[in-house]
Structure 1
């Protein structure tokens, strides 16, 4: 299964739970299909946003560094080292999840933190959507406008 499809399905299931489909007509029978499709579109938008946010050269470099240090099957001479050469999926995933500001010490901490694994993120997001502001909203613009009218900002 393509990674995009897998990620979209996992995120969709996190939001709406497991749903049943009529295999003959491809329609969701436990919720309106158009709503299910809308959640999938939202999940795809999240994936696209994450893909744009990742610093891919840094990710490849950190994954390569981890792979070089933790996998004895690949210990090239320093002059032969190049990012992404022979990097495994485990090292890519750990580099993506790494939260160190500098270069991670992979030998001391070979696994990245998994602090949010059990978090019910869809419920948290749903509970806070009421605080959502327009995409173009900026807190300093609102403060200046309120100050201009003689009001104090929050």
Structure 2
């Protein structure tokens, strides 16, 4: 009986919760990508956030679909062929250049792969990416630490064990 199992939904909501209107969120990992996509497409929750799954962005079919759902959003045109640091740097730089004024977040279960020239500021269950010289952007903000946590202590299938470390990291960061 999984009628009260909310870990995946809470995970997706918490990832989207701290992103300001019109923000950009890079997601790495299938669990988060599936949760966020479900919330946006089925529930209509936070469709204003441009979610970019790092594992899919190099596929042309994904890029075409993204452009249909986010008209006016600029994706870099250069070939995106791998997931190394140079590729991620080009992707993030191209998106920031083409979409000025949008805040960029990264949520991952796979460890941080921050492109050179950017800093990762803890923000909820993820990180806000800011240019290294942007000292104002590197401040930790209380608004980034809102949580919806119906099921942190309740088992929710196999993915619950994958999600708990993300919440543990976020909790440690907010305690600092």
TM over 0.5: no
Per the shorter chain, which TM-score range?
under 0.3
The structure with more strand, counted as a fraction of residues:
2
Q: Normalization by structure 2: what TM-score? A: 0.23
The structure with more helix, counted as a fraction of residues:
1
Q: Normalization by structure 1: what TM-score? A: 0.25
| Larger RCO (CA within 8 A; separation ≥ 6) | 2
